Structure 1
Amino acid sequence: MVVRRSERKQGDPDLGVLAGQLLFAVQEQLFETLAHQGHSHLRPQHGAVLAYLDPEGSRATDIARHSGLHKQVVGKLLDELETLGYVERRPDPADRRAKLILPTALGLDQMTRSDAILAAVEQHHADAIGVEAYAAFKRLFTHVVRQQRAWRDQA
């Protein structure tokens, strides 16, 4: 009997499948909720930039480094977010050659709402499996992510 790959992944999903399923489920809930709260123009791709944007401003190169996205991808997403009114570019006072990406009032509102939505998601899971079990899961998951990045960087 031949077991199809899709059936094998459903019965015993690997780390990549599980991480992807979690990412997509969280993104779906986050962006649907944000849309109902007045941020209907945002897409999950924008979240990859907004998640790493400091309220005091960030450089695009720092966002790219923290997010793991290519600088050109970050630049394209920042162009879209600027057009949508979520960020603005200003000269960086520490280096006039560089641009600082600052959230607008709309961007700050989105950041605050996203933080609250994600806190509710985390609280839901902590309630479902227990606060200590959820804290242990996050510690272990964080460790696995760091180990994977370190292993990748050694290659």
Structure 2
Amino acid sequence: MRRSERKREAPDLGILSGQTLFGLQKELFSRLSEMGHPRVRPRHGAVLAYLDVEGSRASDLAAQSGQHKQVIGTLVDELVALGYVERRPDPADRRAKLIVPTELGRDHMEKSDAVLAEMEAEHAKAVGEEAYAEFKRVFALVAQRQSRPR
């Protein structure tokens, strides 16, 4: 059996994870575009998915998303230009900056959360509530284990 056939018939964790991520992003960002956010791209999720409404430091966003601080800085610059976030002095440390969502950014975050909740409910309905809950529990354990330093 050829490798490509084997990968199609029994995809490994990398392939399954990629299919899940890219499929989720395609649907999420398509729906968000229809809801008034056509300029936000999947790469911006490294900021928007982890951003606190009260604001977050770029270093925290980098740690949570697994991206380098320079990448986060570039994404923040793009999101500032698009009107989704702004940089403000951190009240806890005036030398540091907080990345804070604007009204447009908060709208995107709320709609994103709602769309993702709908998508999850659809998956749970399709495979069964218990099976989906178990899938998420196990997937979270695998993701946690995979993200640990070795």
CA RMSD of aligned residues (A): 0.8
Structure 1 unaligned spans of 5+: none
Whole-angstrom distance in 2 between the partners of 1:20 and 1:107: 26
Matches within 5 A, 1:71-150: 71-150=69-148
C-alpha distance in structure 2 between counterparts of 1:6 and 1:30, whole Å: 29
Name the TM-score, length of structure 2 as normaliser: 0.98
Greater displacement, 94-103 / 7-16 = 7-16
Partner residue, 2:68: 70
- Looking at structure 2, the residues matched to 92 and 7 of structure 1 have their Cα atoms a distance apart, in angstroms, of 53
Partner of 1:19: 17
**What letter is aligned with 1:71?**
K
C-alpha distance in 2, partners of 1:44/1:148?
22
Q: How far does residue 48 in structure 1 lie from its aligned partner after superposition?
A: 1.7
Give aligned-pair identity as a percent: 62
The SS at the match of 1:63 is helix
Letter in 1 for 2:88: R
TM-score normalized by the length of structure 1: 0.95
Shift, 1:146, TM fit: 0.9
Question: 2:107 & 2:86 partners in 1: Cα distance?
Answer: 14
Q: What one-letter code is carried by the residue in structure 2 that aligns with 1:117?
A: V
Query: Aligned to 1:57, which of 36, 52, 55?
Result: 55
Which amino acid letter does the alignment assign opposite residue 28 of structure 1?
K
2:39 to 31, 38, 41: 41
Specify the code of the residue in structure 2 equivalent to 1:62: D
Deviation of 1:145 (Å): 0.7
- Offset from partner CA, 1:3-53 (integer Å, 9 cap, x none): 1x3222111100000000000000000000000011000110001210000
SS at match of 1:99: strand
| Distance of 1:114 and 1:84 partners within structure 2 | 17
Instruction: Note the alpha carbon deviations across 1:118-144, whole angstroms, 9 max, x for none.
Output: 000000010011111111100000000
Count, aligned residues: 150
Counterpart Cα distance in 2 of 1:48 and 1:93? 24
Query: Structure 1 segments of 4 or more deviating over 3 A?
Result: none
